[in-house]
Each structure stands twice: as structure tokens, then as C-alpha cells.
Structure 1
């Protein structure tokens, strides 16, 4: 949080602190005459007003956030040397930003879309950002396809609207999306509130302990409020009558003292088991079945404080999966690898090179010490300290201890496909998910998918999209074919 000040004390002033004599009438050349360029109060206000917005996020633009506390409830020191996970009962301040993915900043909350679940831990070893979603999987497995995927979700360059043709053409040509699409068009595709949904790290990450032993982990945040969702019909009404429904619900719940919480779990895989696991453990379109690696509880996350200023603390908050701490690191997940660059690059463009200096983004339990200086909004915090390393003037030194352990690699460079393991298939887990659903859930899934697929303009796009679901489960495909046919008559 920034330092608070009393905005009611003393006279109204300009940005430079001079008193404002008149904030209701501009200076003019006589009664009814044109305005004067010497009215610096007017010019200052208009110029600042024109610059009050920064570029919105290309994805995850629509967001809400809150501060909270993570409390460790299990000893996981055998798996990681991360200090904030070092002892039972240890508390760490956090900031969590929820978001929709495809919508613009002014879009409605109650829409069918994945939700971003971006969590910042203000640890004593630096900030750790866990940037996930409310789904355990994603539409694609390689970052090189991400811009193309998002273009299909955004406004068409000709029509200016989201087009069913674009969405289903891409999904139909990308069978790896079938698992996530089945999830998205099921009952959990539209959460009733931000408090009543799970969160997931989604990617696979590395944990390493003091002995240097490596483990692969997946994070799960299970809502303690219970899962609650909206039907498509309920969401259509709510989005039209209260587009801010999710943001308002979160803020008002915290104001009432009804602090939402999540039970934090991890799946842990010894690094040696990854090579022969039946699914590629680094494929973002796949889950690790719980019977293979049961989730274990490691903590509790509670949100208990609202931001004081949405722009300063939610809009300007930044999260990057490259923000690791000792004992936690990346995996060979190709989507994660791309995000390690893309998120930081987006923040430097959108907020600026000193975005990490803002109160919501800077470390709270330690301080940043490096040679980074200058640029827009630099506040001179380093004074006259030297801005290079090594130096003999008492500057900071490198730690000589990597945050994570090295991963063995080999082979020739090249544009390789993601390696397939024994049971890797783009349809198998989507089929498993469909077969887990009750008949009522299947009915709603079919109706949701058919309603959207039926909007495409070409039969081949619809047929290709349906074929992916038929590959997942023959009954799934048959029911979807019949439903779309009825709607396209």
C-alpha cells in the first residue's frame, strides 16, 4: 500500500501544491469570451485527464482483486526450501487478482470464459507469483499458438465482433483444445461468484529441497465456500442487469467480514518419474489423475482486505510466472516457458519499466537490491548508490545459489512437437471428463456447445468441431451432432 494522506486537509491545490482559487469557472477573455492558455489549472486538469488510462491488458483485462494471507498447514520442507512454506503456521501476505480472459476492461463479469487466478506471495525471499486459472488445463500446449488462439477469442478485424466461425475454426483445427472446451462449456464455465470457484496453478512447476532433490508439482486452490455456478440463461440475465456482479460480490463479502478462503493443495511427482509417466506431465492440456498423484493439503488462503484504489492496486498490479523464489522454479512446459517472457514484457509495455516499484507490486517482506535505475516514474529510491555489480562500495553481491535445480536436456535444436507419452492423446481426458458428468450435466454441456457451434456459417467448420468431441466419446459426438443439426435446420 502507498502512504496514506489526508485529502481533506487544507485548500485544493495544483499538482505542484499551489492553491486553486477557482475550480468551477475557467479563465476567459472577457465575459463569454474564449479561454486563455494562461489558465494552468484548466490545462493541467485536462492534460492529466487525457492520460488517466494505461493500455489495458490484451488478455485478462477485466479484473478484481483483494489482499489476504496464506498460512502454511503442512511441513513440506522435504520437497522445497521455499521459506514461506518452511513451517506449519507460517503466514505470508498475498494479493490475488481474478479476471476473465477474453473480455475488454468494460465487459461483463457473468460470461462463459476461463477466470484468471493470479496470486502474489510477498515472501521474505522476494515476491513469488503463481499465475493460473480456474481450470486445471488450457486450450493449447505451445506458446507459439497463443497469439493465434487469442485472436479467435477477440473481435474480428472486419466485423468488430467475436465470431463463432473464428472460434470453432481454430478449436476444430486444434484437437488439443477439446479437453478445455469440454470443461468450459460444462457447468463450471460460468462461476456464480469469484468466491465460489476453484483456482489452479495449471502449469507444472519445479520444487527443490535443501538437498537438491527435484520434484514436479501442480497447485490446486479448493474453495471453502463450495462450488456454485450459473446456467447460460442465468448468466445472460445477470450480465445485462449487473455487469459488475463478481467484483461487487467479492468487495461486499470482504466488507461484511465474510472472508473467502481456499484450501491449498499440491500434487507432487518425484522428478525421476516424469520420463515414464503415462501422460506428458508438462502438457498443459492434460491433468495428472488424482489416483496417480493424490493432492495433499499444504495451506489455507484467505482474502481479508479490499484495495483502497482499484486503478493503483488492481489495474496496475503485475504478475509474472518468472517471479520465483529459492526452492521453486519452472518446468519444460512449453506454454509456461513462453509466459516466462511474455508476462514481464507485457508489464514493461503497459505499466512501464518501473512497474515493480509500485506499492502493490514491490516486495513487502524484503526489498529489491539491484542496478536497475531511471526510466519513467523512477522515484530515486537508490540515492547515490552504485548501479553496477561487483563493486567495492558495499553494494549487493550475487548469492551463488540458484533458485531452482538444473534440468537435464539433450538432442539437436529444432521446432519439435511436445513429446508424447504412452497414453497421450488429445481426446482421452476430454472423454474421461464427459463420462464423469451426470446426465443433467451432460444435457447442459450439449446445449451450451450446440448453441454456439450452430452459429458458424460453414458446415465443414461445424463438422470438424463435432468430430473432436466424437473422438473423445462416441455418445458425446452423436448427441452433439443431433443437437447442432436441429438448430441449423
Structure 2
């Protein structure tokens, strides 16, 4: 093992005091924009690749509609959810996370599940994955995490040393690692997987009453996964397998559909629930907060032009409509900045004026100029607010509902550090055949790691989740379970 005395610094040379936790107003935030290290780190990260997306580069998309099937107006005043039978046009983009634009569809990777609803109150973007949790829970760690999934700067090869070193030093990743390495890590098609909003959000009804909410899209096609050997064969012979399958299904009239459900948590429960409800590495038990049906999403039209629609589609978890708001989830708070900033860089400041992103309602704001301004640029209308010339005004009734914050402004971690219970519960839910495939996948992924101390550290995490889990991985790697666990 090697040690050094080098200090991590910002790009302007100042030492970084905390690179694990973003600065928040109290333990639950929200995240403070004064955290210059976080802002600079995310903004620089968004500009590391030209011109494809820095993550989720390889994707497929489709148009469709969302139809409300259950009255949820007691929870949210969002107009597109206001009445049973109401239909809203939408666009979805599925994607892998780590690979480049030309990478294979059938690799082991989470899948992006990004939905844009063209509502009468503006666009609402729900930008999630096909997993209910994520690897990290603070956006300040996201550039580092994605670096480990990308290529080594010298060899330009994937680097299992970096992958497992980071995961073993970030035990909060264990739940998502277990999902990724399980059968669910390679879906059979994009049609045969669930989707999740992953984060906790806030719903607010017409009376101003709020609840916390999580989204679950359940595929009507049934969940089907792909054997690792078949996936490897297709990656070489047919790297666009998922893209073609989705296109052909829609073209042939076999329209994929998902049922949207939500979990609802009263605001006050957030202070007493056994897991922090804003920690995106954790799930809420469906026994505690049962699924409530909301509606049905159907994909029934393919894009006419891939670049204009799929490649130029931009999604941000900060695109809310009245009745839907953010929670203090630290990962969500960082993504609200980072995604929109990535689009301003990659597509341009006027990306929301492109046809695929343009709202289906009138847009009135004072944003002017910028590269590739291709509309009327606001004409001769007023270009500032407040004004005395009849320009658009703010609507106080649409202010974000307040929530209480407390504590010192500081870089702090979540105050719940149980990273093992839910991962262990998931392991114990698997059949013996599923566990065997999980262990084989993990062992195969960890064998190329050069340093035993990294392997042993990760084995310790598996063991803490479930002794059998850790022991079987250790045996597969020919290593002992560390005595410290």
C-alpha cells in the first residue's frame, strides 16, 4: 500500500476540507449553492465529454401518452393528474449509464428511465432508473463515481480496480451493487423492466397540504432478464439489440405499457422512519407505505429522426409543475443543478426551444439571445420583470411550499449509516439459483482487481449484509473473510 501527503484541492488550488458531503442547511438540507467546491466539481464534470452525454450516452426513445386511472387529487394539485381518464402526451428515453454512444445495449449496467410529460402547466420531467436505489446519496461524489465506471486515463480501458476500490470505500453503494450484480443487472429488453423515480419527491394538493412520494413504473410486459452468456453474445453480434427491439415492437403495433404507482409518506413520518426517507440508497417498505395506482403509460409512436428527438431530448429532475416539488434528498438537489447545466453545455442555452423539448403551452420569460436562437427571440416585448408595460408576472399562488430546515450550515453526512440491512434483506429474498448467479457474477467482476485489500474490504461489506453472502464471495475469490467482521 502507498501513502502520500498530497492535499486534494479545487481547480484554483485551495485545499478541499470535505469531498464526501455537500454543504447543507442542517442534516437534511437543502444543499447550499455557496458550496463552491460542489458547484465547480459538478460543472466541470458536465463539460468532460464532447459532444455526447457524459452519462447515459447510448439510448433509445419513443413517444406515447399517460392516462390517469385513479384519483390522486387528495395528494397533488398537478393538473395532468387531476381526473381519471385524462391523457397527457409524453416522451421517454431509455439508456445505459456508463457506456459511450456506440456501446452495446446488453451490458451489465443500470438503465436510465427518463419521462417527459407535456402537461398544460409546462413540462414535467421524471428522470429515474430501472432500479429504486442508487450507488451514492450525495451529488458531491457523483463525478468520482462515474470516473470509476469510465476508462483509465492511461490505458483507455475499463478499470475494475477503480470500480471496486470506490465501492469498497463507499459502503452506501452495497444495495445498488447487489441489484446490479443480480439477474436484474441485464434486462431482456427495455420493455421488460420496471422504472423508478428513485428519489423522494414532494406532492402538494390544492389546500397546500404536502406529502412525500416515490414513483414506481411497473411493466405490463412482465420482468424478464437476460442470461449473461446470451448478453455477451449479443453484445458482439448485435450491440443495438434493445434499441431495435423497442423500435420493432412499436412499429408492429405491440405497444409497451407500464402502470404508474406511488408510495405516499406523511411529512411527519420522515422524522421517525427507521431509514432516512431522503437517502436514495434506501427503499421504503411497501408494507409500511403500500403502492397506490396513479395511471398507465403507453408507448405508441417511434421517433421520425433519432438525432432531433432522442439525441437532442433533454431531461432534468428540476423540471417541476405546480403540485410536484423537490425533497431534501442530497442527490436530487445536486442533480437539479447538474442536469440542466449539462444540457446548456451539450445542446445549448436554448435547448428547451427545440421541438422535442418545447412545452405544449405558451412560454413567457425574459431569457434572450444565446447561441442558435432560432425563434423570434421575444420580439420587441418587455425583457425584464417587474415592468410597467404588461409583461408576464410571477404568480404567488405557485410558490414552492415551505419546509422546515434547522442546524448549522456545514458539510455533513446523512445521520443514518445502516448500509447493510436492506442489501441483506434483498439477498435473503433471492432463490438459491439467483444467489448462485449473483455470487458468480460478483466473483467474476472482482477477480481482475489487483489488490487483495480492496477485495477484502468489499467482502467485509457483503458479510455485514449477510454472513453467507460474504462467505460465498470470499470462497469464490480464494480469500478469507476479514477477522474484523
Please say if 1:433 is aligned against 2:433: no
How far residue 401 of structure 1 moved from its aligned partner, in angstroms, is: 2.1
Which residue is 1:19 aligned to? none
Find the structure with the greater CA-based Rg. 1
Q: Which residue of 2 aligns with 1:400?
A: 396
**Which residue of the partner structure matches residue 199 of structure 2?**
203
The whole-number CA distance in structure 1 between the counterparts of 2:110 and 2:50 is: 24
2:369 paired residue number: 374
Matching of residues 433-472 of structure 1 within 5 Å: 433-472=426-465
Secondary structure of 1:401's aligned partner: helix
Give distance in 2, aligned partners of 1:411 and 1:434.
Answer: 37
Q: Which residue of 2 aligns with 1:9?
A: none
Q: How far did residue 54 of structure 1 move?
A: 6.3
- Spell out structure 1 runs of 4+ moving beyond 3 A: none
Secondary structure in 2 aligned to 1:452?
helix
State which drifts further: 441-450 or 384-393: 384-393
Instruction: Deviation per CA, 1:256-312: give whole Å up to 9, x if none.
Output: 000000010000001111111111000000000111101111100000111111001
What corresponds to 1:232 in structure 2?
228
* 1:274 partner SS: helix
**Equivalent residues of 1:325, 1:403 under 8 A apart:** no
The residue number in structure 2 matching 1:22 is: none
In the TM superposition, residue 403 of structure 1 has moved relative to its aligned partner by: 4.8
Partner of 2:69: 73
Q: TM-score, normalised by structure 2?
A: 0.87
Aligned-partner SS, 1:110: coil
Measure, in 2, the Cα distance between the counterparts of 1:233 and 1:404.
Answer: 50
Gaps of 5+ in 1: 1-52
Q: Does 1:129 align with 2:122?
A: no
Inter-partner Cα distance in structure 1 for 2:389 and 2:374: 22
441-450 or 390-399: bigger deviation: 390-399
The count of residues paired between Structure 1 and Structure 2 equals 430
Which residue pairs with 2:23 in the alignment? none
SS at match of 1:313: helix
- The structure 2 residue matched to 1:482, chosen from 470, 475, 485, is 475
Match in the other structure for 1:160:
156
After superposition, what is the alpha-carbon deviation per residue over 1:349-396, rounded to whole angstroms, capped at 9, x for unaligned? 0000000000000102x1211011111111242222121122233311
1:178 aligns with 2:178: no
Distance 2:301 2:387 in 1: 42
- Counting only pairs closer than 5 Å after superposition, residues 278-297 of structure 1 correspond to structure 2 as 278-297=274-293
Taking the aligned partners of 1:231 and 1:469, their CA distance within structure 2 comes to 23
2:408 counterpart residue number: 412
Taking structure 1 as the reference length, what is the TM-score of the superposition? 0.87
CA gap 1:403/1:65 in 2 versus in 1, 3 angstroms = farther
Write the distance in 2 (CA, Å) between the matches of 1:429 and 1:134: 18
Distance 1:456 1:331 in 2: 38
Q: What is the RMSD computed on CA atoms of the aligned residues?
A: 1.1
CA displacement, residues 91-112 of structure 1 (integer Å, 9 cap, x when unaligned) = 0000000000000000000000
- CA drift at 1:148: 0.4
- SS state at 1:87 partner: coil
- In the alignment, what sits opposite 1:59? 55
Question: Which has the higher relative contact order, 1 or 2, with Cα contacts under 8 A spaced 6 or more apart?
Answer: 2
Give the structure 2 partner of residue 215 of structure 1.
211
Match of 2:91 among 95, 104, 116: 95
1:396-419 CA-to-partner distances (Å, cap 9, x unmatched) read: 111112353111001110001112
- 1:67 and 1:203 mapped to 2: Cα distance? 24
Return the alpha-carbon distance in structure 1 between the equivalents of residues 245 and 390 of structure 2: 50
Does 2:243 correspond to 1:250? no
Partner Cα distance (1:313, 1:193) in 2 = 21
State the partner residue of 2:257: 261
Distance 1:463 1:419 in 2: 26
